[in-house]
Amino acid sequence: MIKNDLFLRALKGETVDRPPVWMMRQAGRYLPEFQEIKKKYDFFTRCQTPELASEITVQPIRRYGMDAAILFSDILVIPQAMNIHVEMKPDFGPYLPNPIRTQKDLDSVIVPDIQDTLGYVMEAIKATKEKLNDEVPLIGFAGSPWTILCYCVQGQGSKNFDKAKELCFTNPVVAHSLLQKITDTTIAYLKAKVEAGVDAVQVFDSWGGMLSPVDYQEFSWQYMQQIIDALKDSTPVIAFGKGCWFALDEMSKSGASALGVDWTCSPKTARKLSGGNITLQGNFDPTRLFSPPEVIKTMVHQMINEFGKDKLVVNLGHGILPNIPLENAKAFIDAVKEYKAS
């Protein structure tokens, strides 16, 4: 039994004394102990070495005592497993030298055997569970098929993912075939993670907000729904679409246990759009962690009051930034732990 099950109880919609808290990207770049490991090992070595991935996962739990850990990994291990070459270039980010833009490109993309290609992730989960010793739940994650497609087609990060959208609008057959291959791989991957021991999963649709509401349904949400349908009976699923407030109504009927909300949507609006009956996760602006600690605490308490303490997982509206002061990250976590309903 997990000793601190506050996060899992909030996902079930149970009444709690205070909401649970964790931070997207909490296992990583803002921590000096992470930077020490980073100096010695390149990015994908850190992802692919279970001992390193598990150590990085538990670092923030040791330091701050969040209510959940999230496995250190990357959404781009999926295209790697699908026979798409992915590099992580320092000071540049992801780089895919052979982007998928034609049927011929797509022919070389496989739906892999997960244990063969991503078995190291399952080993990292087992090592992490051992280190956590049932103190807090462990979250596994994947990128949404649309977000993965964005990188596979663009070949790198982008402000607008114009090449990815161009493929969808000029060659939808190739786009949908690629999306389905990513979806099938992601379902198998997340199922393997659940079998390896994660207690919940989150699907990150980081670039969903790049699409119009109509295009979002066609190129993103229908594939997210397939993933939720395949996983929801075996584990809680959190669906997070950055910039996708317009889809909260439909998302709330998906069978997901919780919906992530970014900071551009107020708690009141998010509750209204999602129907008021589903657990929401969010939505503190990550850049607001530059505010003084006392301001952070006041704002976090205000945010919880606006959402209501139940059916809430406190989080940032996107990942923590690398240069956030340690005491400010602590103020964010402590604010939730100190919360008393007024």
Binding site for substrate: which residues?
25-29, 44, 74, 151, 206, 318
Distance CA 200, CA 11 (A): 9
DSSP state of 315: E
2's torsion region: left (phi>0), alpha (psi -120 to 50) or beta? beta
Q: Which two tokens stand for residue 288?
A: 């607001």
Q: Which two tokens stand for residue 229?
A: 């349908």
Task: Point out the annotated binding site.
Answer: 25-29, 44, 74, 151, 206, 318
Angle, CA 50 vertex, CA 49 and CA 51 arms, to 5°: 95
Residue 81 parent element (H or E): helix 77-81
Written as one letter, the residue type at 259 is: L
Longest CA–CA span in the chain (Å) reads 61
- Burial 34-55, CB ≥16 within 10 A → b, else e: beebbeeeebeebbbbbebbbb
Q: How many CB atoms lie within 10 A of CB 17?
A: 9
Cβ pair 331, 299 in contact under 8 A? no
Written as one letter, the residue type at 328 is: N
